[in-house]
Structure 1
C-alpha cells in the first residue's frame, strides 16, 4: 500500500523525525497513477481529460469518501430540530399557550399597558390631522387601548368597556373595571375610543385580520354598512 503515496513535502523531509525514518521508494508508475486513473475515467468523445485534470484535480484537496457521522452527532442534529420545532395549532390549543390565567383577570394589572399604548398612539398621531390618522388606525396595534362596544348585533355586548389585552383574527379580549374578561367578536360589532378631542369609530368587520397581518395589508376603500 505504501507505493500509492507520493513523497512527503520538503519541510517534512528535512525534519529530524523524517531523517530517522526510511522513506519507501516511489516509482514513476505510482506517481502517474492518479492522473492516469482520472483521465482514463473521463470520456474522450466530448471532453478533454488532460484539461479537466489540470483545472479540477491537480493540486486540489479532494474528499474521496463521505465520512460516516457518529451517533452523537446524529443525536445533536435531532435535538436541534426538536428545539426549533414550531408548535401546531392543535398543540397550542392543547397547551393553552394563549389563555390568560384567571388570577391575572385584574384591571389594575393592565393600566401600565394602557399608558404605554397612549404614548404609542400619540407618536403615531404626530402632526397629522384626524382624517390622515384614521388611515393609520387600520395598521395600528390596539393592545392596551380602551375600547367601548357602541353597537353590536348581540345586545349584551353593547356598552362593554375595557382594556384590550389580546387581539385575534376575529376577536378583541377586553378586561373591564370589574375585573371581568370579555371576549367580543369583531364581526357585527362597532367599537369606539377617544383620543384628544376626537371620537374614533372602528368597524369590527373591517378589522377581521390578525394584528401582524394588518401592518402589511393594503386596504381598499369600502362602504361601511351600519348595524
Structure 2
C-alpha cells in the first residue's frame, strides 16, 4: 500500500468532474477560478456618491429634453431685424391706444392708493418705479424747443426715449435726456369725503380733479423693469 497521504481535491474540481473530463475540469478550474483577475479598485462611484451621480445624470437628461423641446430665444439684434419693435403704419392711430391709456390710469390709481389724493414722497417713490406704457405724456421743458408741447400716449418706454402716438396719429420719438415730462392722472373725489350733495358730487364727477406730476427724463434713463429697484434723488439739471 502507498503510505503517502492522498491530496484532497478542491470541491470545485470535484463538481466540475461530474460534468467534464478530468483534464477539462482541471483546465476550467485553473482559468476561471485560480487565475481569475481580482479588481481591487472599483470602476463605479462609491456607494456614498451613487445617489448624487444618479441625480446628476437625471438632471443632464432633463436639460437635454428641455433644449430639444424649447426653442432658443431670439437675440435683440434678431428682434430688431424682424421688426418686432416697430409699429406698423396702419396701427399708428391714437384711437387704438386710448383703451391702453384707460388701463394705465386704473393701474396708477391702484398702486398709489390713498396717496393719489395727498401726493408726497410716498407717491413719488411709487411713481418712480411704475410702468409708463399707456401713460398720457406732455413735454413741458426740453433742451430742444421744438419738442415742448408735444402730447401723446406712451406706446414704448425704452431706456433712453419715450415713443408716443399723438392726437394727429403721428409717431414721435422723445429722448429722455434734457427733457421734463408731465403726466396727469384724473382723480374723481368721493362725495362722502367732500361732504357734497348728490348734485354737487355729480358735477364734480364730470370735472374731476387731477394729480399732475413731472418727471426728469435724465433720471428715467432705465428700462421700466429696472426702475423698480432703484432709488431716485432730486437734483439740478444744468441742461434745462
Deviation at 1:184, TM superposition (A): 0.4
- Residues 30-67 of structure 1: per-residue CA shift (max 9 Å, x gap): 9989xx76x5242xxxxxx8xx99x74xxxxxx9xxxx
Of 51, 61, 80, the residue aligned with 1:93 is: 80
* The structure with more radius of gyration: 2
Specify the alignment match of 1:225 in structure 2. Answer: 237
**Counterpart Cα distance in 2 of 1:224 and 1:30:** 93
**Counterpart Cα distance in 2 of 1:111 and 1:188:** 28
Seen in structure 2, the aligned counterparts of structure 1 residues 40 and 153 have a Cα distance that, compared at 3 Å, is same
Structure 1, unaligned stretches of length 5 or more?
1-26, 43-48, 57-62, 64-75
- Residues 105-133 of structure 1: per-residue CA shift (max 9 Å, x gap): 00000011011001100101102231111
Alignment partner of 1:84 is 2:84: no
Which gives a bigger RCO, structure 1 or 2 (Cα 8 Å, sep 6+)? 2
Structure 2, unaligned stretches of length 5 or more?
1-27, 48-53, 55-63, 188-209
Deviation at 1:78, TM superposition (A): 10
Q: Is the 8 A contact 1:165 1:175 kept in 2?
A: yes
Structure 2 length-normalised TM: 0.62
Seen in structure 2, the aligned counterparts of structure 1 residues 30 and 122 have a Cα distance that, compared at 3 Å, is farther
- Residues 128-183 of structure 1: per-residue CA shift (max 9 Å, x gap): 23111111111101111100000111112110000001111001011111100111
Deviation at 1:84, TM superposition (A): 2.4
Alignment of 1:141-160 (within 5 A): 141-160=131-150
Q: Is the 8 A contact 2:219 2:232 kept in 1?
A: no
For the aligned residue pairs, the C-alpha RMSD in angstroms reads: 3.3
Alignment partner of 1:163 is 2:153: yes
Of 206, 215, 227, the residue aligned with 1:214 is: 227
SS in 2 for 1:40: coil
Structure 1 length-normalised TM: 0.65
Aligned length: 170
Q: Is the 8 A contact 1:106 1:175 kept in 2?
A: yes
Runs of 4+ in 1 over 4 A off after TM superposition: 27-33, 76-79
Q: Is the 8 A contact 1:151 1:191 kept in 2?
A: yes
Seen in structure 2, the aligned counterparts of structure 1 residues 78 and 124 have a Cα distance that, compared at 3 Å, is closer
**Counterpart Cα distance in 2 of 1:140 and 1:174:** 17
Specify the alignment match of 1:130 in structure 2. Answer: 119
Specify the alignment match of 2:190 in structure 1. Answer: none
